[in-house]
Amino acid sequence: MEKVISSNVSRAIQTKLVLPPDTNHLGTIFGGTVLSYIDEIAVIAAMKHSKKTVVTAAIDTVNFVSSAKSGDILSLEAFVLSTGNTSMKVYVKVESKDLATDQKKLTTTSTVTLVALDENKKPTPVPKVRLESDWEKELLLNL
């Protein structure tokens, strides 16, 4: 019988503070910094799902919706959205919060494909994922 794991098992959440060195001349966070955060949390979600070492195969989509500025708090959330034989597609959502105004906004969304590796650093099969919410299922259909 094929192993199937809930998308909730892979869910990973991180919080980051946007500091002045993270920002460009406009005072907003560098896109590359956000991409680094996205890659890191996608790896964590894929490792939680597969229980294996993983490597990033592709950053499939990145949508920079709005910017974050120095002093904002970033909240990143990721989970495995779909699986192939050895690959996992991870959805990542980044929100920013201005603590002075308590305003929260969507900053970035992304999908990242990662591949699980065995002890010989060769691709290895991963369990299938079971999406738990209608929102997750709709998200998959709209990719």
Domain boundaries, the chain: 4-141
CB count in 10 Å sphere of residue 36: 12
For the stretch 72-111, pLDDT in tens is 999 999 999 999 999 999 999 999 999 999 999 999 999 9
Distance CA(39)–CA(78), nearest Å, equals 10
Q: Which two tokens stand for residue 111?
A: 């999908």
139: confidence class by pLDDT, cuts 50, 70, 90: confident
For the stretch 5-17, pLDDT in tens is 898 999 999 999 9
DSSP structure string for 97-136: EETTTTEEEEEEEEEEEEEEE-TTS-B----EEE--SHHH
Range 4-141 classified under CATH 3.10.129.10: yes
DSSP reduced 3-state for 40: helix
pLDDT value for 99:
92
The whole model's pTM is what? 0.94
Q: Which two tokens stand for residue 129?
A: 């994922």
